[in-house]
Structure 1
Amino acid sequence: MKYGTPEPLLDDDFPDKWTLVEGKEESGWTLRGGILSNRVVKEKGRRFGNVRTRAEYEDFRLTTDVRTLEGSNSGIYLRGRYEIQIAETFGKPLDSHNMGALYSRIVPAVAAEKPVGEWQKLEITLVDKHVTVVLNGQTLINNQPVLGCTGGALQSDESQPGPIMLQGDHTNIDYRNMVLQPVKKRD
């Protein structure tokens, strides 16, 4: 597979590249020193927003470092439709809600999580409707079919490109070094 020009998503152009999904929600997202942090306060009646790229993508490889905090529960939505679970699941039995799973659909093949507070390297490739997920150098999902949208999808038209969306309404999480490379189409 060949990839196009890498596009850094967490650089100084962050405000131009990302937006809250719903403008009326509170934002817990801040970018400082190349680290995108989400900090939320769980109180009745208070809701924090998800962020999404303004650009939309078709087939791509997304790489990022992620750091879970105590009780982290977040997600990276591919094309705004397919959630790769980001959660603090170190030491837990394999499950479709663990770090790197296709949420509620595909259980990771191995447990590759690091303990809370450590940076972890995540690589996700989405081509057509097949996903590969590599966490800390171990393949969790290998070119498996994505069978429909996961919960929380922005829209359900699977024939269209879509944004990268980061779930921000649950708990605290950190990302850095997020880079998207489009898959080059064959000539």
Structure 2
Amino acid sequence: MTLRTAPTALLACLALVAGPAASAQDEGWTWLFKDGSLDQWAIPEGDNGHWKVETVDGGPVIDYDARSEASGDKNLVTREEFGNFVLEFEWRIKETPFTNPNVPYVLPDGTHARGVDGEPLKLALPDSDSGVYVRGSSKSQVNIWCWPIGSGEVYGYRMDASLPTEVRSGVTPRTQADKPVGEWNAFRITMEGDRLTVVLNDVTVIEDAQLPGIPERGNLQLQHHGGYRDGKYTGPPSLVQFRNIRIKPMD
């Protein structure tokens, strides 16, 4: 009896020692951030420590305060480029000290609702703003923010009036699946060809949306947003944290 059960117990112990990172590699996944290292990422030159690693809830997170001092691009960028992939990560908005006076009421077709005066409706709401660029393109950013439309939309395509209605409505979230500010959210983003699917907290908010003209390959970028001057934020800031970032290339 002991001889039969020992191998099973040994395998269980080895699995515990190996941990989730080994399992992820075995399944074709690559960790872009898990154990506190930013080796997979290029920090913008002159950032001066605003993109950093902190410990939250007992584990490492990428923390950003929206105050990068880089003179050029301020996004955090992967060193590797990707084509077709599945990307999974957790994110949360830390706080919303800025009130955005220009939040639109977005309709299911991606256009903005208008008031009785014929002008687009604008809402003043607490707002922080970030996202992830897929294949290195700002136009194909999957948004993270506080808009009633919910996170996961692709603003660059939705706002392109030259595109067909089916494209603009396709990148408009079906529902708002965000958790309250301060809580962790989970993204699963699938990019295959020019088609995008976004699952937020186990809810499919974007399904097989077409992104015409998206590059075939490119890096991932965690977005900087907003400005800071005279002790105040001048736009919706990227007061965000990220953790457990992994990718499965499908090329």
Give identity over the alignment, percent. Answer: 29
Report how far residue 144 of structure 1 moved.
1.2
Decide whether the 8 Å contact of 1:85 with 1:101 is kept in 2: yes
Q: So what's the TM-score if we normalise by structure 2? A: 0.59
**Residue-pair matches, total:** 165
**C-alpha distance in 2, partners of 1:12/1:103?**
32
Quote the Cα distance in structure 1 between the aligned partners of 2:203 and 2:136: 25
Give unpaired runs (5+ residues) of structure 2. Answer: 1-25, 97-126, 159-170, 227-237
* Match status 1:88 vs 2:146: yes
1:144-183 Cα offsets, whole Å, 9 max, x none, are 111245xxxxxxxx23x21111112432101111111112
Could you say which residue in structure 2 is the equivalent of 1:164? 220
Task: Tell me how large the CA RMSD over aligned residues is.
Answer: 2.6
The corresponding residue for 2:133 is 77
Which sections of structure 1, spanning at least 5 residues, go unmatched?
150-157
Structure 1 runs (4+) deviating above 6 angstroms are 45-48
In structure 2, C-alpha distance between the alignment counterparts of 1:84 and 1:13, rounded to whole Å: 24
Encode CA deviations 1:35-60: one digit per residue, 9 max, x unaligned.
111112499x9888111100111100
Tell whether 2:88 aligns with 1:63.
yes
Residues 124-144 of structure 1: CA distance to partner in whole angstroms, max 9, x if unpaired?
000011000000111111111
Question: Take 1:46 and 1:144, find their aligned partners in 2: how far apart are those partners?
Answer: 34
Q: What one-letter code is carried by the residue in structure 2 that aligns with 1:111?
A: Q
Q: 1:52 aligns with which of 77, 81, 97?
A: 77
> TM-score scaled by structure 1?
0.78
Instruction: Return closer, same or farther for 1:36/1:25 CA change in 2, 3 Å cut-off.
Output: closer
- Residue of structure 2 in register with 1:120 after alignment: 185
Is residue 18 from structure 1 mapped to residue 76 from structure 2 by the alignment? no
More helix by share: 2
Structure 1 counterpart of 2:62, from 32, 36, 46: 36
Note if contact 1:9-1:180 (Cα within 8 Å) is conserved in structure 2. yes
Taking the aligned partners of 1:47 and 1:54, their CA distance within structure 2 comes to 17
Give the secondary-structure state (helix, strand or coil) at the position aligned to 2:38.
Answer: helix
Paired letter, 2:141: E
Match of residue 153 from structure 1: none
Larger Rg, first or second structure (1 or 2): 2
Cα distance in 2 between the residues matched to 1:166 and 1:23: 15
> Which residue does the alignment assign to 2:242?
175
Q: Does the Cα contact within 8 Å between 2:47 and 2:68 map onto a contact in 1?
A: no
Aligned to 1:154: none
